[in-house]
Chains A and B, each alone.
Chain A
Amino acid sequence: MSKRKPYQREMKNDWWLKNIFYSRYMIREGSSILITLYSLILAWGVFRLSQGAEAFNAWLSALQHPVSIIFHLLVLLIALYHTLTWFSLAPKAVDLYIKGKPLDGRLIVAGHYITFVIATVFCLVIIML
């Protein structure tokens, strides 16, 4: 008779705390929760705008509350983290060959940063004008 009895180890809920690589991954993915909240607040603003100037101004002044400012700074920080980690992963999802040679990953990452800077400056200009 076979004495085989394979033992299945359990994957505990805190698996992502045991390895810094997994923790960073969870922060990257977990950023979506804060970014969703941010998007909902923004969508709420658009809704308030449809209700008239008074409603929109009330929304604007609510944004100036210290809790709101801290929240938005936190979202900015985590969104930047998400962006930078994705930029560093970008070469893995790109399949470009130039003259039979694969495109250097550093060029792909640099391209992302350049686009990021141009888009940021463009948005700032629109807001400032």
Chain B
Amino acid sequence: MTDKTIEIEILRYRPEQDEKPFPQQFEVPYHPDMSILEALQYIKDHLDSTVSFRWSCRMAICGSCGLMVNNIPKLGCKAFLRDYYPQKVKLEALANFPIERDLIVVMDDFIKKLEEIKPYIIPESDDKCLSEGTYKQTPEQMEKYAKFSMCINCGLCYSACPQYGLDKNFTGPAALALLARYNRDSRDAGSAERMKIVNQEQGVWSCTFVGYCSVVCPKGVDPAAAIQLLKVESSKDYLIGMFKPD
């Protein structure tokens, strides 16, 4: 045990009694190997049991513990006190989302967008018989989309995206990266359906290539790259449409 402590400020919001969020300070024992999530658990167990936050796996797989650490979107389990000590750490619910309570945000809009892009393989035909076997794919074909399939839906990229902050109609980084993941899959034949979403003003064209989504992504998905590649596809779609209307 060490005697060192670190100051943690949490932006609290309790909807049944608060009009607006307010900061609350906590003094937490400091260990170099302690994550922000563990610090929050210490606060809940020992200092104030009413502090609310989401968490599950503690190892950057579930995507539940996203929050703003000193105004930068991070996973609580993947950010460590040693990177901030001895400075104060300021925690806040993920930016660009409404606060449900304390560090918990309302993610309904994000989930709706994920569902809208048809995040499943749409096969060429429905009448393929099971006895015909599985859909085969070479490592090269998989390489085309593998990076974009690593998303854990934590919402950090939406929090980092000023375009989403300014206009909630924007489809946004994670949903578009997931869309690219399916469009680039050799087993999928649903590109034409998804391109309708891509081509919209609120599709890829609301993206101004800030690029911060890719910086904060804890899984290296690179949504900014997915969106720029979709812009190329959208432009091709537009040009082909001029000569060959559906």
* Shortest Cβ gap from A32 to chain B (Å): 11
B interface residues, tally (CB under 8 Å): 35
- Chain B hits for A3, CB < 8 A: 15-16
B15 and A5 within 8 A (CB): yes
A93 and B232 within 8 A (CB): yes
Q: Which of B8-49 contact A (CB under 8 A)?
A: 13, 15-16, 20-21
A22 is an interface residue with CB less than 8 A from chain B:
yes
A interface residues, tally (CB under 8 Å): 25
Given contacts A9-B99, A100-B139, contact A22 B210 (CB under 8 A): yes
Most buried by B among A18, A91, A95: A95
A61 is an interface residue with CB less than 8 A from chain B:
no
- Chain B hits for A19, CB < 8 A: 71-72, 212
For A20-47 the 0/1 string (1 means CB < 8 A from B) is: 0110010001000000000000000000
User: B184 — nearest CB in chain A belongs to which residue?
Assistant: A95
Besides A6-B100, A7-B98, A92-B224, 11 more A-B contacts (Cβ < 8 Å) are: A6-B106, A9-B21, A9-B95, A9-B98, A19-B72, A21-B210, A21-B215, A22-B162, A92-B228, A93-B232, A97-B140
* A residues at B contact (CB < 8 Å): 3-9, 11, 15-16, 18-19, 21-22, 25, 29, 89, 91-93, 95, 97, 100-102
User: What are 17 sample pairs from A and B whose C-beta atoms fall under 8 A apart?
Assistant: A3-B15, A4-B15, A7-B21, A8-B99, A15-B165, A16-B162, A19-B71, A19-B212, A21-B215, A22-B210, A25-B211, A25-B212, A89-B224, A92-B222, A92-B225, A92-B229, A100-B140
